[in-house]
Structure 1
Amino acid sequence: MPTGVAVVCDTDDCLAVYLAVETGNDGDERSADDVSQLARKAAEGDGWVIGFGFGQPVMTCPGCADGRGPVRERGTCRRCMGRTDEASRCTYCLHTEPPDDEGRR
């Protein structure tokens, strides 16, 4: 069964989540530290900001990092799971989901 790793925003009351890494079910063994590092790198590549609090890395979602957060309403945004408008643009991180091969968002 495939498993994954989520990154959550460290800002108080923020509901942002980034589904960062799917570890797969092909028998590929990875340590928890390896998976955490992959998740942080994937999130950073998608606009999340890494910082350090109490000696631990913490992640801040793009909306909170830019002053539009915290995410208070869940939606369909791939980057932060925030609410999107009719044009598929996230209210919080401003990410716009490109249309798929059939022109749907």
Structure 2
Amino acid sequence: MPTGVAVVCDTDDCLAVYLAVTTGNDGDERSADEVSQIARKVAECDAWVIGFGFRQPVMTCPGCADGRGPVRERGVCKRCMGRVGSGAKCVYCLQQMEPSHAGED
């Protein structure tokens, strides 16, 4: 059964989530550390910011990193799961969604 790895924003009260890695489809077993590293790299490539707190890496969503967060309303944005507003853009991370997938106003 495939499983996923999510990255969550470390900002207080932020609901941002990034579904970074799907595992289990290729039959390749990976350690938790390997999957965690892959998830961080994928999130970084999609504008999430990595920092370090208490000797471990923490992630900040694009909205919080740029001062538009924290994400307070869930929606369909693939980058942060924030609400997509008019113009088919996420109101938090400004990710442009295809109109057929935006589905919110």
Give me the TM-score of the superposition, normalised by structure 1: 0.91
**Partners of 2:92 and 2:86 in 1: how far apart?**
14
Q: RMSD of the alignment, in Å?
A: 1.1
Percent identity over the alignment is 78
Q: Which runs of 5+ in 2 are unaligned?
A: none
Can you list the C-alpha shifts for 1:20-68, whole angstroms capped at 9, x where unaligned? 0001333210000000000000000000000000111000000000000
User: Does residue 46 of structure 2 align to residue 50 of structure 1?
Assistant: no
Q: Which structure carries more helix by proportion?
A: 2
Unaligned runs of 5+ in 1: none
- Which ranges of 4 or more aligned residues in structure 1 deviate by more than 2 Å? none
Q: Which aligned pairs between 1:5-20 and structure 2 lie closer than 5 A?
A: 5-20=5-20
2:40 is paired with a residue whose SS is: helix
| Secondary structure of the corresponding residue to residue 87 of structure 1 | helix
The TM-score, its normalising length taken from structure 2, stands at 0.91
Aligned to 1:71: 71
Deviates more, 1:82-91 or 1:40-49: 82-91
Aligned residues: 101
Give me the whole-angstrom Cα distance separating, in 2, the residues matched to 1:86 and 1:19. 24
Aligned-partner residue type, residue 52 of structure 2: F
